[in-house]
Structure 1
Amino acid sequence: MLDRLKSINPLFILTVIAPTLVAIAYFGLLTNDVYISESRFVVRSPSGGGASPLTAVLGQAGFGGGGGGSAGAEGNGTISEYIMSRRALEDADEGGFVRKAYADPDIFFVDRFGTFLGESKEQLYQYFLGKVVVNESTSGQVMTLSVSAYDPTQAQEINLRLLIQSEALVNSLSERSRDDTLSLAQAQVDEATDKARRARLELAQYRGAERIVDPEQEALVGLQMVGKLQDQLIAAKTQLRQLQTYTPQASQIPFLKTQIRQIEAEIEQTRTSLTGGRGSLSSAMARYQELRVNSEFAEQQLAIALASLQDAQAEARRKLTYVERISDPSLPDFAQEPRRIRSILATLILGLLTWGILSMLMIGVREHRD
């Protein structure tokens, strides 16, 4: 037996037999079973940015088009970045659950966390990245979260924690975006309401100070009064001329002259109140029109702001995104890794290839020397 072993090429032992024996020992006896828990979900939006679970599954299987809008794509990217972040690890490691799951003394020391890398948070994060995988389907809609652990219940629990925190993150970001949009629109409404209130108040105060309700209506009444007085003046002057022509000694002539002077004075007084100086109705009308225009403009701005608020509310409802689960985290009932036989065969084949290449190189070197 020893003679047979001595007759074996040392290179063959080094490149084939030794690695294969190590692989048999490691994969066949030492390494622990690895359980993988999977969950699937899709980011949805009422506006159609996401996809329904049925559509997403059909799209992934190749029975439908990609579909999916930017809301779903952005949500998928956000979740992917979050799950592979340090924050996700901190959230999932509440109570030291993740650290305990991967640092269990029953795990083979080569695979156990803390054996070679240390036990710091950064080293745990680097170890954690090798246990979590997030894949996006070809349709760009369905996300698959896979978590590897050495205990099936621990794999499921870590997957569930990551999924719950991802849902909370998407909801939080969606609510924050919605609140920001509505807050801005509401602030514009409040500002427009305040301007409209102040414009109405200024107009009301001006009316009270000037003791007028509507200068335009009062000016119209004044002009009508001037017209009536002018009619009376014309009638009085006509009667005066007739009396002066036909009965110059009539006793009514002085009365008519006095009446004409009074009518002319009243006309002049009315015109002065309408078109005179700073206290005239025309001056009051200019200020009144300015205040009224300001009030009408403020009301229009308020109407526009209210319409913008309604649009913002509708847009916020359309852009509201959330995570809908297609499948909850699974509880694996068998270990998918390590693939022991395949790993041992792969080691053997790789050793044989290495042995063959090195043997040819050594033969070539010998021939070159000879």
Structure 2
Amino acid sequence: MNETQFKYLGALKNEGSDRSAEHLWLKRLPLGFLLVVALPTALAMIYYLVIASPLYVSEARFVVRSPNQQQPSNLGMALQGVGIQSAMNDSFAVHEYVTSRDGLAYAQEAVDVRGKIGRPGADFFVRYPRFGEDDSSEGLYKGYKRFVTVGYEGRTGISTLRVKAFRGEDAQAIANALLSGGEALVNRLNERAARDAVQGAERAEEEARADLVLVRQRLTAFRNTQGYVDPELSARESSAVSSDLLVAIARLKAERDQLQAGAPQSPQLASLNGRITALERQLTAERARMAGAAGSLASSVAGYQQLLVEQEIADKRLAQSTAAVITARNEARRQNLYLERIVNPNLADQPTLPRRWFGIFSVLLSSLLVYSLGWLVYAGIREHKQF
């Protein structure tokens, strides 16, 4: 009799078991984790590894200073350390120019900035015009500011210019154009300051010269009116005449007294008395001419001295104004400010941006942090509801 033998072959394979296990694993993942962590990380990987275009950075360093600029003191360096900048630094004018529409216009004339920051095929999230950005002058300026940055180091006084572009030579060309524009700005500031200084000094010299001419005209009119070239000299001469008259009168009186004592009846006494009287009248006239009478030399001398003082002041003012003009012209011949390049724009041979894996891990960590905070809040709410 034949015996039937059964062999255990194991459980039958279910074709859908693997798929169900996979679906079960996916179901175990919370929907919030997929939306908050997995989806942003996947999008970041797609962008940084597939879409993002490489960016080349050209960097330059410069300083704006004057030849006679003094070094800051210890107090000035301490104030700079707490964020108070020295008023002597003129770099910020160049900073504002580089990031302004005028700086963009100057660079656009030198190089095609519009074409260099809007390369066809580049990342449409970064290039100009990017997604949602219009092709206009204002849009170009907004896009330009994404590619150009300038900073300042307060401790050293050195400014740093960084230009990004999709090609190394494009970034270097834009950086060189912007530095040339900054140098042109500094030269214009020098020319305007020198022109204003020279014009101001020349205007002051013209005013001083006109005042001196006016004083001299008044002095000439005074001499013509008074009839004296030098009233002081006339007063001195009149004083000398009065002194001589006094001496002559005294001599004649002594002679008369001597004659009257020896010969009282002498006929010469009348002659001597007549001469003494004449000399006394002349002395009185000379004294009246010097002071006391209308039109005397005393009043003329006072007015004359006042005019001389005004003339001396006008002469000194003219001399000072002339010296100021010479100084201003000498200062105008030399450059008061200059932009000195410490490091010229480099030609980058490798892209430094974007930092792809750094960006991906940043998105991952940020999303994990957000998810963790959300999960903690959700767990706290559930625990509160159970109680």
Please state whether the residue corresponding to 1:47 is helix, strand or coil: coil
Q: Write out aligned runs for 1:352-367 (5 A).
A: 352=368
The yes-or-no answer on 1:33 pairing with 2:54 is yes
Percent identical: 33
Compute the displacement of 1:337 (Å): 0.6
Could you list the runs of 5+ residues in structure 1 that have no partner in the other structure?
52-58, 60-65
Equivalent of 2:259 in 223, 234, 243:
243
Distance in 2 (alpha carbons) for counterparts of 1:127 and 1:309: 48
Q: Decide whether the 8 Å contact of 1:92 with 1:158 is kept in 2.
A: yes
Structure showing greater radius of gyration is 2
Structure-1 residue corresponding to 2:9: none
Compute the displacement of 1:151 (Å): 1.6
Compute the displacement of 1:251 (Å): 4.2
Please state whether the residue corresponding to 1:324 is helix, strand or coil: strand
Q: Decide whether the 8 Å contact of 1:277 with 1:283 is kept in 2.
A: no
Q: Aligned pair in 2 of structure 1 residues 178, 50: CA closer, same or farther (>3 Å)?
A: farther
Q: Aligned pair in 2 of structure 1 residues 260, 357: CA closer, same or farther (>3 Å)?
A: closer
Task: Count the aligned residue pairs.
Answer: 356
Equivalent of 2:149 in 123, 129, 133:
133
Compute the displacement of 1:103 (Å): 2.4
The yes-or-no answer on 1:280 pairing with 2:296 is yes
Compute the displacement of 1:357 (Å): 5.8
Compute the displacement of 1:352 (Å): 5.0
The yes-or-no answer on 1:291 pairing with 2:307 is yes
Q: Decide whether the 8 Å contact of 1:37 with 1:329 is kept in 2.
A: yes
Distance in 2 (alpha carbons) for counterparts of 1:104 and 1:241: 126
Normalized against structure 1, the TM-score is what?
0.80
Distance in 1 (alpha carbons) for counterparts of 2:183 and 2:327: 27
Compute the displacement of 1:216 (Å): 1.8
**Which deviates the most, 307-316 or 142-151?**
307-316
Please state whether the residue corresponding to 2:112 is helix, strand or coil: helix
Structure-1 residue corresponding to 2:91: 76
Q: Aligned pair in 2 of structure 1 residues 344, 190: CA closer, same or farther (>3 Å)?
A: same
Aligned partner of 1:86: which letter?
R
**Which deviates the most, 247-256 or 286-295?**
247-256
Structure-2 residue corresponding to 1:338: 354
String of CA shifts for 1:162-212, please: whole Å, max 9, x gaps. Answer: 212222223323443344344434433332232223223322443345442
Q: Aligned pair in 2 of structure 1 residues 366, 249: CA closer, same or farther (>3 Å)?
A: closer
**Which deviates the most, 101-110 or 330-339?**
101-110
Aligned partner of 1:340: which letter?
R
Normalized against structure 2, the TM-score is what?
0.77
Distance in 2 (alpha carbons) for counterparts of 1:104 and 1:267: 108
Structure-1 residue corresponding to 2:65: 44
Distance in 2 (alpha carbons) for counterparts of 1:224 and 1:336: 100
String of CA shifts for 1:228-268, please: whole Å, max 9, x gaps. Answer: 12222222233233334433454433433332333233223
Q: Write out aligned runs for 1:1-370 (5 A).
A: 6=23, 7-8=25-26, 9=29, 11=31, 13-49=34-70, 69-72=86-89, 75-94=90-109, 97-114=112-129, 115-275=131-291, 277-303=293-319, 305=321, 320-352=336-368
Compute the displacement of 1:17 (Å): 4.6
Aligned partner of 2:64: which letter?
V
Q: Aligned pair in 2 of structure 1 residues 247, 358: CA closer, same or farther (>3 Å)?
A: closer
Distance in 1 (alpha carbons) for counterparts of 2:144 and 2:282: 100
Distance in 1 (alpha carbons) for counterparts of 2:180 and 2:110: 16
Structural RMSD (CA): 3.7
Q: Aligned pair in 2 of structure 1 residues 252, 367: CA closer, same or farther (>3 Å)?
A: closer
Compute the displacement of 1:93 (Å): 2.4
Q: Decide whether the 8 Å contact of 1:50 with 1:141 is kept in 2.
A: no
Compute the displacement of 1:117 (Å): 1.5
Compute the displacement of 1:309 (Å): 6.0
